[in-house]
Chains A and B, each alone.
Chain A
Amino acid sequence: MTTAREQILGDIRKSLRGDAALPADDAAKLEQRLSNHPAGLIPRRSDGRDRAGLTALFEQQAKLVETSVRRIASLADVPAAVAEYLSSQNLPAGATVAPDKLLDQVPWSERPMLRLRRGKPEPTDQVGVSVAFQAIAETGTLMLLSGAESPSTLNFLPDTHIVILPKSRIVGPMEEALRRLRDWRQAASAGMPRTVNFITGPSRTADIEQKIEMGAHGPRRQHILIVEDDRLA
């Protein structure tokens, strides 16, 4: 009996090439295309910008999608910035923080009133703090990877999502972020992470009368802290 797999692939071959196998030359070209993975046309929007220019573009684009952005000088400023943001939103001073190594350097104890927990979120957690792997200036998009230091549910369960973004991680187009993902994978001899989240603003829906409402299922507010310290990778 022919399996569904054999039949479907057979039907496709028959439709495309009248049952003939793909010529070896063609297959070699396809292999090459995969290994070269050429990037196509990149919009000029993020072209020719230095780090300051990319940061400015990212900030501008992120604000267009209802995200708030604040620049801080170094990781030492994170606790105060988090506490001030939460109080400005009338939120309780507490958060679940990704166990990302970068945040080990943050002097959390300077803000003893901030109740923190490192790890993955519980369903009732109100605030999550994550670290962005990269950020895309072209569209104001954050890129976050799942892993032992970064639970993906932290990006979705809490009502409020605070994301720490070192300035050096801001790139122009999505293709550059993907290139850095490839470099990271090569350095770690790893495959793809289970989940790569590209996040452009807080959750929203327009399913009722085309009226945009924030906070459909994911966070209803997103706050990005850009860390200007150039020593951070």
Chain B
Amino acid sequence: MIPTSQSFKANAHEALQDTYLQKALDNMRAGFPAKRLDAISRLPEFEDLRDQAKDIKDHTLAHLDWYLERYERNVVASGGHVHWARTAGEARDIVLQICRRLGARSVTKGKSMIGEEIALNDHLEANGIVPVETDLGEYIIQLRHEAPSHIIAPAIHLVKEQVEHTFREVHTALDPKRVLDEPRSLVAEARQILREKFLAADVGVTGANFLIAETGTSVIVTNEGNGDLTQLLPKAHIVLASLEKIVPTLEDAAAIIRVLARSATGQDMSVYTTFSTGPRRPDDLDGPGEYHVVLLDNGRSALLGTEFQDMLRCIRCGACMNHCPVYGAVGGHAYGWVYPGPMGAVLTPSLIGIETAKHLPNASTFCGKCESVCPMKIPLPKMMRHYREREWQKKLSPPAARIGLGLWAFLARRPLLYHWAAGLAARVLGLLGRRQGSFYNLPLAGGWTRTRDMPAPQGKTFQQMWSERRAGKTA
């Protein structure tokens, strides 16, 4: 998809005016954080489990090449195939080639953020193959030609009336007088429609929450069971995974699974955690005849060994966006690409460049909530700060900010001059604002006074008051 991260400010402004979106975001803010808190309060070891999960991923990333080779060897040993893709384009073409070889006409898809990242649906469609999203949220947004607005709840920006409208528009073979006013009836209708699609599909594509080096296994975690029907019924199962999904052993996967669902939806375990290894065995009664893994780099190997390596620990639980005041106000689409919220504010510039995504690391109040709820303890605010530095170094920030900050830096490096200038400003503003106590508007501070008053200084700087008080005490 073509990023619109460049217009984050306009996107955010629009989002704030969207009443449907604001109602949907109310639902989200009321839901996810409370459920997470409830789940972790029932598990006294949660903090230690976070540390452990972080350590496992750090260990794996430090030896990623070794574990990837071992993983590949074990996939092949169990009868599967591994395809390496440097770019989104390579990954798309690998999937298309497999589909073509099998004469595939329709492809079911479990939820996959890598599928979004490589824009697989558009590519398949352009080549005459029908992709069908089967996760309910993904199905809804596919029908609406929208991108996901959340990494685990892709249709969280919608209210049920919008879903009803879409279903009536698309499911024209059904009785137009049917009642569709509750989530229950909407879910039932999607189940009925998608059941046919599952049975008709030639190829099933899923993502992966983990790849296990020891056994060559891919793991998906879902609540609906769509990922399982997607991989069990067709002729071939294709797994889309980025290369940092590796963990060493089954036990390592189990350890991280303990923090995943609790951080995401507040469940102890998601309903379906599925370990898939190779194609169906000769004696098996069902399962896919072929098993393929597309291993995507797309800029990730370049993050290793840099200040952004920690981002590769991310397990895509969504806790950071569920707790983010900025995401909670504007939703996911404003971020303009695949990954929204705090993790997107770091991952998006990493994958598509700070030039295109420069607004995202700035779309943060640095309240630190994202880092405090991240099960993998990723220092998201610190990394956003690093991207702000890069933005500055590359001279991408707006001229007014550059001049202002340049002036401030000039003064800050000259303490005497700084104190004198600050003292002067405090005195002048104090005199000017004495009568009102605040300013309705102020030159050069329009961004502040447009939405609120600026309190007038009292006439002295903090430093001046501090030294006066100290002098008073010693006297």
- What residues of chain A have their CB less than 8 Å away from a CB belonging to chain B? 3-5, 7-9, 11-13, 15-16, 22, 26-27, 30, 33-34, 37-41, 43-45, 61, 65, 99, 119-120, 123, 138-141, 146-148, 150-153, 155-157, 173-175, 178, 181, 191-211, 213, 215-219
Contact = CB atoms under 8 A, between A and B. Distances in A.
Interface centre among B63, B190, B305 (most CB of A within 10 A): B63
A194 B269 contact: no
B286 interface: yes
B255 A191 contact: no
B85 A4 contact: yes
B418 interface: no
A139 B215 CA distance: 24
Nearest to B82: A5
Given A43-B258, A205-B187, A218 B153 contact: no
A216 B140 CA distance: 13
A194 B270 contact: no
A195 B284 CA distance: 10
Contacts of B232: 152-153, 156, 195
A178 B254 contact: yes
Contact of A155 (B84, B195, B228, B233): B228
B225 to A, nearest CB: 3
B134 A217 contact: yes
Given A16-B305, A175-B251, A195-B287, A202 B271 contact: yes
B65 A9 contact: yes
A15 to B, nearest CB: 4
Given A22-B65, A148-B283, A196 B268 contact: no
A61 B302 contact: no
Contact of A8 (B86, B214, B216, B228): B86
Given A41-B52, A43-B45, A156-B225, A197 B272 contact: yes
Contacts of B154: 207
B251 A37 contact: yes
B286 A151 contact: yes
Contacts of A217: 134, 191, 194-195, 198, 224-226, 229
B214 A37 contact: yes
Contacts of A203: 223-225, 271-272
B410 interface: no
18 contacts: A8-B297, A12-B64, A15-B303, A37-B214, A41-B52, A156-B229, A192-B216, A195-B287, A197-B228, A197-B272, A203-B223, A205-B223, A207-B154, A208-B158, A208-B163, A209-B183, A217-B225, A218-B272
Contacts of B284: 146-148, 151, 194
Interface string B283-303: 111110000000101000111
Contact of B48 (A33, A41, A213): A41
Interface string B355-381: 000000000000000000000000000
A147 B287 CA distance: 10
A136 to B, nearest CB: 8
Interface size classification for chain B: 35 or more
Interface centre among B198, B217, B225 (most CB of A within 10 A): B225
Given A4-B85, A203-B272, 14 more contacts: A4-B90, A8-B84, A8-B295, A9-B68, A22-B63, A34-B213, A38-B251, A41-B49, A43-B258, A65-B268, A206-B31, A207-B137, A209-B160, A217-B194
B226 A216 contact: yes
A139 B268 contact: yes
Interface string B15-36: 0000000001001101110000
Contacts of A194: 276-281, 284, 287
Given A7-B86, A153-B232, A208 B187 contact: yes
Contacts of A138: 268
Nearest to A2: B86
Interface centre among A4, A99, A216 (most CB of B within 10 A): A216
Interface of B: 24, 27-28, 30-32, 43-45, 48-49, 52, 56, 62-70, 77-78, 84-86, 90, 134-137, 140, 153-156, 158-160, 163, 183-184, 186-188, 190-191, 194-195, 198-199, 213-217, 223-226, 228-229, 232-233, 243, 248-252, 254-255, 257-258, 265, 267-281, 283-287, 295, 297, 301-306
Contact of B153 (A44, A192, A195, A207): A207
A195 B136 contact: no
A215 B187 contact: yes
A210 B28 contact: yes
B449 to A, nearest CB: 38
Contact of B187 (A43, A195, A216): A216
Contacts of B68: 9, 12
B297 A11 contact: yes
Contacts of A99: 285
Nearest to B62: A16
A65 B273 CA distance: 14
A129 to B, nearest CB: 14
Contact of A213 (B70, B187, B249, B301): B187
A34 B70 contact: yes
Interface centre among B70, B265, B286 (most CB of A within 10 A): B286
A140 to B, nearest CB: 8
Contacts of B64: 12, 16
